[in-house]
Amino acid sequence: MKQIETLLRERIGLDAASIGASVVARLVRLRMKTCGLDRPADYARLLQNSPDEWRQLVEAVVVAETWFFRDRAAFAALVRLVREEWLPRHPVETLRILSLPCSTGEEPYSVAMTLSEAGIEPQRVQIDGADLSAVALARAARAVYGKNSFRGPDLAFRDRHFTATKEGYVLSPAIARQVRFHQINLLGDEWRVEGRGTGDSEPATRRNGETARSPIRRFADSPARPHADPRPSSLTPPYDFIFCRNLLIYFDRATQARALERLGGLLHAEGYLFVGPAELPLVREGGFVPAHLPLAFASCKPGLRRAERETARRRESETGRGRNGEPASGRSRRLADSPIRRLTNAPARPLADSAVGLAEAQALADAGQLEAAAAACEKLLERDGPSAAGYYLLGLVTEARDQEVRNEECGARNSALDTPHPALELYRKALYLEPNHQEALLHAALLLERQGEHTAAVAYRRRAKRASARSQ
């Protein structure tokens, strides 16, 4: 089995320990049975010689779980950054966004819905979704979804962008055609990042004439294939925003470093990298700088703009006012009229008791109003009684508030914890009520790791994996 684990690590980065060596062994045995083989050594040989069997094994071991607007503060942050930073600097250029890994498409389509509702013209935007799994990409291209793809308290977007049919919820073609899909192994040999990365040297050339491309060797220079069957094709870096969420957690340290180097090469010098909640510390270790966007888990490359960005953002969160001194809620008439406004411009004042629902508490959190969000969660829990969703959100907000304090005190580093984090207790309460709450399991694992409780952290990760397998 070790030989097969090594192959998986070397070729696709999968660290068997991240999902449990026994889980991987079970999946391998299933494949061996299908191939009529008894000995792992024979199967390892087959994998070396048969690209087709290799593909089958990859499809068996990847964790493709995803859903629309997962960690939705990231999408709210995307709109803010596009409107406040990117658009003023790039009045005519194309906004480039990469979702890698995109799995079955929910993430890049959430980006497309978000930007469309914020009034950004589709012609101004290029959204690429990339993943290793051909099966996941085929489902992404089909754009028909079951109920597992819709989670959380606010599903109004489903009514706006999907049609319910016997097969499932069909995404509107207007959104679907905004995303191009590519089959890509982030760690594969078929393309490389050479040198220090695209973004660091070139914004002017790429913006003027769009000819300068990165030092990434592309493996096909085929034209863009809008919303078609996935196959290897070219990415076109540098990207202004990259979503690489819930992939690094499956890699070991060395592979995380390799992956981050490649992502750095794909990201524009002034771009932002969004990762999963459990991955922000890893990204920091890889040299990225936190963007201080609560609950959005975003970071950027180190550079001159960083101080400027942080000052502006702090000023805004302190005063509740935008860059030009306008109240946050009046920054854009178009945005204020759009359904996305609840994501981006939550009410400035805490809500009255009677008005507080989970969606409102989430909107406050998404807008970075952490104290108001915490108060709203507490009210909600008091009024309606314990709920896993309420405790989980309060845990997230507690973590984000703590992180803000740490950032003030000791800069970017995500330090080890000397005492149990108060959010851990909240995640445990959520898990008491809903033992398979995957996100609570992952967050609890991360906090336990920071406390040095590695065995407990691994146990939580395993539970998260089992919960994920059950829900697929």
Closest approach of Cβ 245 to ligand SAM, in Å?
4
Nearer Cβ to ligand SAM, position 379 or 443?
A: 443
Closest approach of Cβ 466 to ligand SAM, in Å?
15
Cα 435 to Cα 3, 193, 431, 440, 466, distances in angstroms: 34, 42, 4, 9, 11
Residue 369 makes contact with ligand SAM by CB under 6 A: no
Nearer Cβ to ligand SAM, position 70 or 72?
A: 70
Nearer Cβ to ligand SAM, position 131 or 360?
A: 131
Q: Of 4, 32, 125, 186, which one interacts with ligand SAM (CB under 6 A)?
A: 186
Residue 441 makes contact with ligand SAM by CB under 6 A: no
Closest approach of Cβ 61 to ligand SAM, in Å?
9
124: which residues sit within 8 A by CB, 6+ positions away?
93, 94, 95
Residue 131 makes contact with ligand SAM by CB under 6 A: yes
Binding mask 52-81 for ligand SAM (x = CB under 6 A): ----------xxxxx---x-----------
Closest approach of Cβ 58 to ligand SAM, in Å?
8
Closest approach of Cβ 67 to ligand SAM, in Å?
7
Q: Which residues pair with 163 in a beta bridge?
A: 170
Q: Of 103, 214, 234, 344, which one interacts with ligand SAM (CB under 6 A)?
A: 103
Q: Of 81, 115, 118, 132, which one interacts with ligand SAM (CB under 6 A)?
A: 132
**Residue numbers 241-270 binding ligand SAM by CB under 6 A:** 245-247
Residue 128 makes contact with ligand SAM by CB under 6 A: no
Which residue is listed with tokens 């740490």? 406
Residue 12 makes contact with ligand SAM by CB under 6 A: yes
In which order are the strands placed within the sheet that holds 298-300? 179-183, 125-131, 95-99, 239-243, 267-274, 298-300, 289-290
Q: Which residue from 214, 141, 212 is spatially nearest to 177, judged by alpha carbons? A: 141
Measure CA 69 to chain center. 9
Closest approach of Cβ 66 to ligand SAM, in Å?
3
Closest approach of Cβ 258 to ligand SAM, in Å?
10
Q: How many residues lie near ligand SAM (CB under 6 A)? A: 23
Residue 129 makes contact with ligand SAM by CB under 6 A: no
* Residues making contact with ligand SAM (CB under 6 A): 12-13, 62-66, 70, 101, 103, 107, 131-133, 136, 184-187, 245-247, 276
